[in-house]
Amino acid sequence: MTGRVVVVGAGLAGLSAACHLARSGHEVVVLERGGCVGGLAAVRHDEGYTFDLGPTVLTMPDLIDDALRAAGTSLADELTLRQLDPAYRARFSDGSTLDVLADHAAMTDQIRAACGAHDAAAYEKFVVWLRELYELEMPRFIDRNFDRPWQIADPPGPAVKLLRMGGLRHLDPLIRSRFDDERLHRLFTFQALYAGVSPQQAMGIFAVITYMDSVRGVFFPEGGIHAVPRALARAAEAAGVQIRLRQEVTGLRRTPSGAVSGVVAGDEVVAADVVIATGDLPTMYDVLLPGVRRPLPLRRPRYSPSAVVWHLGTADPAPDDVRHHNIHFGHEWAHSFDELLDERVLMRDPSRLVSVPSVTDPSRARPGGATMYVLEPAPHLGGSLDWDRMREPMKERLTKFLATSGYPTDIVSEQLVTPGDWADQGLTAGTPFALAHTFFQSGPFRPTNVARDAPGLVFAGAGTTPGVGVPMVLVSGKLAAQRALAQLSEESR
């Protein structure tokens, strides 16, 4: 029997879910409140500059291919990707640089020349360890729906191997035990911040993020990151999915037994057998299940830090030594995370990411100019910072950093996004990175993607399983689709 699935939100999670459902034989309708697909992976055009407003670092394109193939097409048919080499240029406070190179042998040679023979040999072993860790984690602990936490040890063999590999040890000492050079410690652990925790707090399992970007590579799509949701939307619609824009969902309809029967969008009730709600998870509970007791991880949540992002279009180009992605490491390290995560103040000596996509695609800037994305980690809301008052001082702070670092500062177009702006977009605590990946907010302990009190309601996105980041959000859509199909199958019996 054919059923209907309504997907709330046409961001990466929602479009992934739609693609994985597209050829299931069920009707699929996507309702998006905005005027275009993409969610946080939006795009802005201004004064001859093009800005990706969401993610800028794209890894694991095979997960995009997975969703596209589910809808009957492929990555090769829908997107043109360019691997960035280097994936990053790391700049350190002593003036030295290290590149994360796409070629394994070249990366090893660079480490040998810059850090010594011991660290070069350690890198060879490190890559093997990372690959084994990823191959263990992805099918058994990431790309999998859990109904109960104990299922993480069923079967026990992979869980035991994960423990033996150091998956539950802290990431920082794991890396320090392998490499002597402090620069490599930072280069291979900063990714923990993507998961909302410091390298000192992060578990070893999050080294898979290092594997995704430092080993498997970082890519840039023709047309920018926003081209990814556009491709997913095209594939879904070609496979029969309806995508309806400017449809804000404001409520849930349920049967007398409590099961989902539809959603309210404007003046219309859109009937549904299953609803997949994407986006900020606490917001979805507020909108769809007001008054319902939230799952345990959402009752006393710990949120990831936020970020200040400054989108800039400059008249002058970036210097010749600038790459697509540039990480500027401050002199301070461990104490900076204390300031960010515990004291909830701006870091006195922050590390920052500067992405300059016009280095790869000059069409994203005016002729002779540059398009830049400057990110500084910042505390999520709840601290003492007043972001309305902090806007201009933050611009001055970042302008000084750019000038000191050799970037152009003759600004033609700009948009500053603060934690307050993220909150205005409906993101709880003013962070686009959702719940931090602490032990009890990761894996089977992360908020489940099914609503126990509302049969037929499924969740996808960074706030639910498996977590934060473009790869994980794409997987979350796939897992939500599996949940939806299982519920439809149950209803048809």
Q: Is 403 inside any structural domain?
A: yes
Q: Is 323 inside any structural domain?
A: yes
Q: Are residues 351 and 424 in the same domain?
A: yes
Residue 493 has pLDDT above 70, yes or no: no
Stretch 91-105: mean pLDDT? 97
Residue 490 is predicted with a pLDDT of 80
Q: Are residues 118 and 193 in the same domain?
A: yes
Q: Which residues pair with 119 in a beta bridge?
A: none
Residue 199 has pLDDT above 70, yes or no: yes
Q: Is 321 inside any structural domain?
A: yes
Q: Are residues 201 and 133 in the same domain?
A: yes
Contact 381, 306 (CB under 8 A): yes
More confident residue, 70 or 492: 70
Question: Which tokens go with 133?
Answer: 């860790």
Q: Is 95 inside any structural domain?
A: no
Query: Which residues span the domain enclosing 154?
Result: 103-215
Task: Point out the domain boundary residue: 167, 195, 215.
Answer: 215
Residue 184 is predicted with a pLDDT of 98
Residue 188 is predicted with a pLDDT of 97
Residue 492 has pLDDT above 80, yes or no: no
Residue 352 is predicted with a pLDDT of 98
Stretch 130-150: mean pLDDT? 94
Residue 81 has pLDDT above 80, yes or no: yes
Residue 383 is predicted with a pLDDT of 83
Residue 149 is predicted with a pLDDT of 85
Q: Is 52 inside any structural domain?
A: no
Q: Are residues 310 and 296 in the same domain?
A: no
Q: Is 47 inside any structural domain?
A: no
Residue 263 has pLDDT above 70, yes or no: yes
Residue 252 has pLDDT above 80, yes or no: yes
Q: Are residues 134 and 148 in the same domain?
A: yes
Task: Point out the domain boundary residue: 215, 244, 275.
Answer: 215
Q: Are residues 281 and 314 in the same domain?
A: no
Q: Are residues 169 and 67 in the same domain?
A: no
Residue 25 is predicted with a pLDDT of 95
Rounding to the nearest 10 degrees, give the CA dihedral for residues 49, 52, 53, 55.
-160
- pLDDT category of residue 223 using cuts at 50, 70 and 90: very high
Read out DSSP for 280-301? -HHHHHHHHSTTSPPPGGGTS-
Residues 61, 467: Cα–Cα separation, whole Å: 17
Q: Are residues 320 and 382 in the same domain?
A: yes
Q: Are residues 151 and 169 in the same domain?
A: yes
Stretch 293-298: mean pLDDT? 89
Q: What is the pLDDT of residues 421-472, one digit of tens each?
A: 999 999 999 999 999 999 999 999 999 999 988 999 999 999 999 999 999 9
Residue 152 is predicted with a pLDDT of 87
For 339, phi and psi rounded to 5 degrees?
Answer: -65, -45
Residue 1 is predicted with a pLDDT of 67
For 346, phi and psi rounded to 5 degrees?
Answer: -65, 140
Residue 150 is predicted with a pLDDT of 84
Total tally of structural domains belonging to the chain: 3
Which of the residue ranges 4-18, 35-49, 57-71, 141-155 would you say has the lowest mean pLDDT? 141-155
Q: Are residues 446 and 297 in the same domain?
A: yes
Q: Are residues 263 and 296 in the same domain?
A: yes
Q: What is the pLDDT of residues 304-327, one digit of tens each?
A: 999 999 999 999 999 999 999 999
Residue 297 is predicted with a pLDDT of 87
Which residue, among 377, 401, 351, 355, has the nearest Cα to 183 in the 3D structure?
Answer: 351
Read out DSSP for 262-277? EEEETTEEEE-SEEEE
- pLDDT category of residue 395 using cuts at 50, 70 and 90: very high
Task: Point out the domain boundary residue: 160, 184, 215.
Answer: 215
Per cent of the chain over pLDDT 90 is 94
Q: Is 91 inside any structural domain?
A: no
Q: Is 46 inside any structural domain?
A: no
User: H or E segment at 186?
Assistant: helix 182-187
Name the burial class of residue 300, with classes exposed (0-12), middle (13-18) and buried (19+) by CB atoms within 10 angstroms of its CB: exposed
| Average of per-residue pLDDT values in the chain | 96
Q: Are residues 266 and 377 in the same domain?
A: no
Alpha helices in 289-414 (DSSP H): 334-337, 387-405
User: H or E segment at 7?
Assistant: strand 4-8
Contact 280, 463 (CB under 8 A): yes
